[in-house]
Structure 1
Amino acid sequence: MTGTDLTDRRRFGFTTRPYLAVDTTTGDPIGLDDLDIRIRWLLDLITAAETGLLTRLWHPATFDTLAAGHDSQGRALPKHGHVAAARLGWTPTYPDDIYVPSRVTRVVTAHATATLRTLTYRDTAIAALSARFDPVTGHLAPPASGEVYVPSAFARGVRRQLVARASLVDDTASGAKISGPATTGAATTDDGTSGAATSDGAQPTRLRITDIQTPPQVSAMARLAATDKQLAELTVTGDTLTLTVKLPTAAAPTGRAQWRAVRLTATLPPHLHGRAITAWHLPTLILDGRGLLLQCAATEAVPTSELSTATVAVGVDWSPSTLGAAAIASESPDGLISDFQGYTYDDRGLGIKLARLQQEGQQLHRKSARLRRLAENAPPKLRTELDAKIAVLDANRTAVGAKRGKINRELAFHFARQVTDYATAADATVIAVEDLSTLEPRGHGRVNNNRAAQSARRKAADALAHTAARAGVAVVAVPARGSSALCPGCDAPLSRPGGYHHAWCESCRLGGNRDHVAGVNLAKRALLGRGAAVRTRAGSLEIRSTEHAPVRKCRDKTGPTPARPRHRRVRRSVPRSTSCEGVNKSKSRPALQASVWDTVEPAASRDVSGSREERGSGPPGT
């Protein structure tokens, strides 16, 4: 570690579920089924109000205001979304004869403003890219000097939207009939004008996001972070989390009396016990297949990590064969050195399982799409049967996606724990990972590119930043271009004499595993650019420029030896005595460890009064 004082603060998230709900007015317990119904009423009110607000604000004037950052009187907009919306007069509307507290309106306006602020960057990029788009050839001209940088993947997506819109304009100009509303059509503004092109097919020089996109869909969730104690209050005592929130008692509440406070009790996850938590934040309420889920956040005190004084760095290369590989580079009086002997992560076969599940999900998607095409012109009776089959396929695809999500999370945190232990054993104070915004899978075929694009790299990067922060190790993102193709010693292109996974430099006589060489390059970029690191708005560290310095191969071993399982010696000269019945009852053989999470101790049994085992909403249906 770089220091022992817990001076840095880091926010992280976790999830939990309530096991008890009590009405604070009467003191009566509420069944979790009834609680889910009341939560659904709250989410329906929030979703309908936010959808209407985004639809009314979907015009260029909204994004011009947010891009300028000032209101009509020239004052700077506050950072809090609900305060900025109140200053700009953005107020959601509700149906008549329905009473909604003002704190619920805060939840609606805070999330709507945050969504529009995020889309403001996309609006600016679309305006810049549309000015360089040629509708005849369908290509983008090179950017001018001083233009805002746009990632290449983002530019390709916008170009596809511009091509689709140009073809739509050409069909409209030629008199072709277009059935149904197009998703890329222009949106009409409040003053009655539209961003569509003229009837002669002329392409505007500047398009906006409202011209090629529709308002975003709203997720059914209640973000309580924008409220205060009048709507929600959170307290944590020991390993118990208590949330008091006001919920409606009817689908359409007509007065203040139909909003009553409910006290929810949940258990903190075991991995949070004993940690230096400095603050607990109000959660986000969502409903999934199992009921109410609390997505909570907390601020934790972690050791200080100084990037400017780092002398040993670990480079993590995202590998196509496994999730990642790591290598070490250190700074010495003679320059940068490395032993070029890295560590390759063993995913324990989970990568093959993820590839199989991904292929299964794609097959279900293709079959569902084919049945939808058949159902369009099918008779009513046959269409009903096809719709039932489509519903089954969609449910199976959702289950496959949920299983992939669980495996990805397990894989990400296991990878983060392994790499953090590797860096701690090597006394490294910084971990360099490839910047995912500059890393695009290409050149390996359609199947492999798609498989690499859907891997758990983003989850692994977030898990690595969270796990390394608790150990006092800083995680910094460095550019990925050329890390696997250039020599760490002379910065010349590498050859592949032994195949794709082998790299060799004839001039420097350096070589080894391709992923380990890339890890050395990434660690070198982190050590050379540690003085130019910048912190993004999300709080992560980035190095956006690359420098070169020769890395010398040292004979001494600089990296730690990864732990390997030791096999017990077995005397094979003496045959084993087997039971006559074929079953050895004298020894109990425990089952193999199926997952890294099997070592977690189960939570202590709590009172299940009011849980789903004891329904408060009447007897279950037969």
Structure 2
Amino acid sequence: MATATCTAFSGVLEATGERVGQRVLLERVGFLAELSRELTGALVAARWDEESLDVLAAGVDGQGEALPSKGWMAMRRLNWPQDVPSPAGVYVSDRVRRGVEEYAARTLRLALHRRSIVAAVLATWPADPWRRTEAEWTALRKLLPAGVSGAEIRNRTRQIRAYATGHGRLPAGLCVLEGPPQVAPQVLLAAMDRQQVTLHRVDAATARLRVKLPLHAAPATGRDWAWHVIDIRLPGTIAPDAVLHTPTLRPTPAGRIAVDLPHSRPVTATKASGHTVALGFDWGVNTLLTGTLGRLTGPGQARRVVTDGRPLVFDATTISAALHRLRGHREHLAAKRDHYRALAEGLGSPHRAWAGHLDRVRVLEAEHARVCARIRHLNAALARAAARWAVDQAVALGASVIYLEDLATLEARGHRKGNARLSGQVRGTLAETIRHLAAKAGIAVVTVPARGTSKLCPGCLNTLTHHPAPDRLSERGWKWAHCTGCGLSMDRDHAAARRIVSRGLLAQTHTTTERTTGTRTIRTTIDATVALVRRPKKTTRRLRRQRHTETAPPRPAGPKTTKGKRHPTPTRPAGPHARRTRPAAEQAPGHQTSRRTPDARTVPATTPTGVVQRPAGHDTQTPAATSGPVPGHGVPAPHRTGQDPLPSGRVRLSRRTCRRRTRAAQRTGFHHLHTTEVHPLTPRFGPPGGNRRRPRRARKAWKPQAHTEF
């Protein structure tokens, strides 16, 4: 099941065939949404007390029968909607009231979870509100429902502490601690039947929605309601075989009609345990996801997790920088808006500058809304791209489960500079998107505890020390981790990803599944070392040629012949483009003209230390060892043995080497740099203040002329 947000641009009146534009259609949908919000808010406020929440939590009515799962039916079984009549002079059909009651029931049922947490915290209120003892934590955990994170406990404790500080006593419950929840202007069409709404699919890209909308803000009779036919353009994320369900209508601040269209398709159920190949991902700031592949090997108690050591990195540096900049701009606009509003309130309406300040407030509010919309769009795009990448990596590597760290299990210990950027990431949306896409691919998604994943070494479980990264030696040492026990040195997020995949695979039998949402979690921590298995080397061209030479039959003596070739290749005749050779008298002793002989290879020259060898280049102290073309484009580069120091002479790289580096640059995004044979730079001299536009050729050295005195 998933929900796609579509947009309704226009409609048609079914009775007359009149076309309804977007502005008029938005106005009529707004009438129905505002009416629904008013009735839902009144019903929630009427039943916002501890007795009503106790009845909902018990799940039985006055006769002792279980309440139905549908919210509007449960509300009518309890006779609660009778407390909220329709507005005077407004006609509201029974189907519209169904949507109102369903919205109110969902809102009240969501409050039951918060109520249970508040009740447990109040029942075990500590002697010191700022710090609980071990016994107080144990008593609190016994009363809390399953799956409550430390962040929820901390937030509710702060809320109760603030109430006690202001009122001098503890609250009696959630209804005293909080007011009635706010409801949004939206219409839940799913609770209505065919007398109010119908939906069917026209083709693979279009769906037709028939809904009865009010023609006025306060419809007095049934004649003030009319059927509207709205064609909805389906996005590409909805498969042609997906089943469409009744949507929800809501007007947006941008002046559009949002249609939240649920759709479902059957997928294969994923198993909670029994996985052998998994992917573990660690959250980061710029590298939003850093993962690694883990494989479970060994029988019984001798099980261990091995990895190939290859990191999988989703680098979101560019979009993270844009989001960070937009957040700063948003806060700046909000501060200016509040400043001008305070100035306007201080001056008052008779003052001549009062209206100018209010105009500035309206301009800043519009700009603030646009920046917020931009941030939302970037967050959604980032979440979709990262989730798609993670699932594609799992499918390509044959993993059957993805392990993510549950950041809700962490509790803050102080503040540091990067917390603002960490809290601004879209990790919740990204995790939900990964679960949705992984379910389509038949891959399970499980969260594991995050405490200590970056603290210990995945190879020996010793404490890691942090050092500056090799590419950023001038920065503080937090990104790069080093182990003094086993000598492991790698990226900190990559080391954490190894421990995450190890925790998931070793504790997969302790996986728990939440009944309502289907979210899978591992709360048991099992720490073990992760073994590193070397990846098999790729078959290079030289190795393939060597294997072919060993297995191929011996070639017969004589000139090389190919299919259709009956005679050897004739010698190239001498001409103007033939290679010129030196006379024998001018050649160096021991020189061979043919480059095929062993003596014609490049003779290595020794460096002053006499330890490292380098290819012979343009050296002014030693004579040239070879003649003919210099190794460059089209000529194989000389083979270098041992360590490869910087050559003293400039040598052209072979065409094969240039192609390899070009392909590497296209793959990694870094331009290749290499030295080529270039002419030395000629200094340009000239008279001071002379003509600065010089030709390509270097001018002759300027010599000051002798001045003659007259």
> How far is 1:258 from its partner?
1.7
Within 5 Å, which residues of 2 pair with 1:557-572?
Answer: 564=667
> How far is 1:304 from its partner?
4.4
Which residue of 224, 232, 236 corresponds with 1:258?
224
> 2: distance between equivalents of 1:290 and 1:124?
39
Q: Contact 1:225/1:284 (CA < 8 Å) preserved in 2? A: yes
> How far is 1:384 from its partner?
3.5
> 2: distance between equivalents of 1:544 and 1:562?
43
Tell which structure's C-alpha radius of gyration is larger: 2
Q: Which residue in 1 is equivalent to 2:117?
A: 125
Q: Which residue in 2 is equivalent to 1:417?
A: 388
Q: What are the Cα deviations for residues 377-406 of structure 1, in whole angstroms up to 9, with x where unaligned?
A: 322234443333222222222111110111
Q: Which residue in 1 is equivalent to 2:432?
A: 462
Q: Which residue in 2 is equivalent to 1:335?
A: 304
> 1: distance between equivalents of 2:268 and 2:668?
31
Q: Which residue in 1 is equivalent to 2:100?
A: 108
Q: TM-score, normalised by structure 2?
A: 0.70
Q: Contact 2:213/2:225 (CA < 8 Å) preserved in 1? A: yes
> 2: distance between equivalents of 1:166 and 1:568?
62
Q: Which residue in 1 is equivalent to 2:233?
A: 267
Q: Which residue in 2 is equivalent to 1:24?
A: 14
Which residue of 395, 402, 409 corresponds with 2:366?
395
Whether 1:56 and 2:25 are equivalent positions in the alignment is no
Q: Which residue in 2 is equivalent to 1:148?
A: 144
Q: Which residue in 2 is equivalent to 1:584?
A: none
Q: Contact 2:34/2:186 (CA < 8 Å) preserved in 1? A: no
Q: Which residue in 1 is equivalent to 2:592?
A: none
Q: Which residue in 2 is equivalent to 1:189?
A: none
Q: 1:402 to 1:241 in 2, by over 3 A?
A: same
> 2: distance between equivalents of 1:352 and 1:336?
36
Q: 1:158 to 1:517 in 2, by over 3 A?
A: same
Q: What are the Cα deviations for residues 118-145 of structure 1, in whole angstroms up to 9, with x where unaligned?
A: 1111112112223344698665563343
Q: Structure 2 counterpart of 1:143, which letter?
A: W
> 1: distance between equivalents of 2:319 and 2:72?
43
> How far is 1:306 from its partner?
3.1
Q: Contact 2:150/2:408 (CA < 8 Å) preserved in 1? A: no
Q: What are the Cα deviations for residues 236-292 of structure 1, in whole angstroms up to 9, with x where unaligned?
A: 122111111111111111222222111110111134354x41x21111111121421
Q: Which moved more, 1:530-539 or 1:260-269?
A: 530-539
Whether 1:159 and 2:157 are equivalent positions in the alignment is yes
Q: 1:506 to 1:88 in 2, by over 3 A?
A: same
Q: Which residue in 2 is equivalent to 1:549?
A: 528
Percent sequence identity is: 31
Q: 1:223 to 1:362 in 2, by over 3 A?
A: same
> 2: distance between equivalents of 1:155 and 1:233?
44
Q: Contact 1:133/1:139 (CA < 8 Å) preserved in 2? A: no
Q: Which residue in 2 is equivalent to 1:199?
A: none
Q: Structure 2 counterpart of 1:286, which letter?
A: R
Q: Structure 2 counterpart of 1:549, which letter?
A: A
Q: 1:531 to 1:507 in 2, by over 3 A?
A: same
Figure out how many residues of one structure are paired with residues of the other and give that number: 527
- Greater length-normalized contact order (CA 8 Å, ≥ 6 residues apart): 1
Q: Which residue in 2 is equivalent to 1:514?
A: 492
> How far is 1:565 from its partner?
5.3
Q: Which residue in 1 is equivalent to 2:291?
A: 326
> 2: distance between equivalents of 1:66 and 1:434?
34
- Structure 1 residue runs of 5 or longer lacking an equivalent are 1-10, 171-202, 575-622
> 2: distance between equivalents of 1:341 and 1:89?
62
> 2: distance between equivalents of 1:108 and 1:67?
21
Whether 1:477 and 2:438 are equivalent positions in the alignment is no
> 2: distance between equivalents of 1:35 and 1:558?
64
Q: Which residue in 2 is equivalent to 1:212?
A: 177
Q: 1:134 to 1:422 in 2, by over 3 A?
A: closer
Within 5 Å, which residues of 2 pair with 1:31-50?
Answer: 31-50=21-40
> How far is 1:151 from its partner?
2.9
Q: Contact 2:39/2:100 (CA < 8 Å) preserved in 1? A: yes
Q: Contact 2:11/2:229 (CA < 8 Å) preserved in 1? A: yes
Q: Which residue in 1 is equivalent to 2:329?
A: 360
Q: Contact 1:107/1:223 (CA < 8 Å) preserved in 2? A: yes
> 2: distance between equivalents of 1:133 and 1:272?
49
> 1: distance between equivalents of 2:132 and 2:668?
54
- Structure 2 residue runs of 5 or longer lacking an equivalent are 469-476, 539-663, 679-710
Secondary structure at 1:564 match in 2: helix
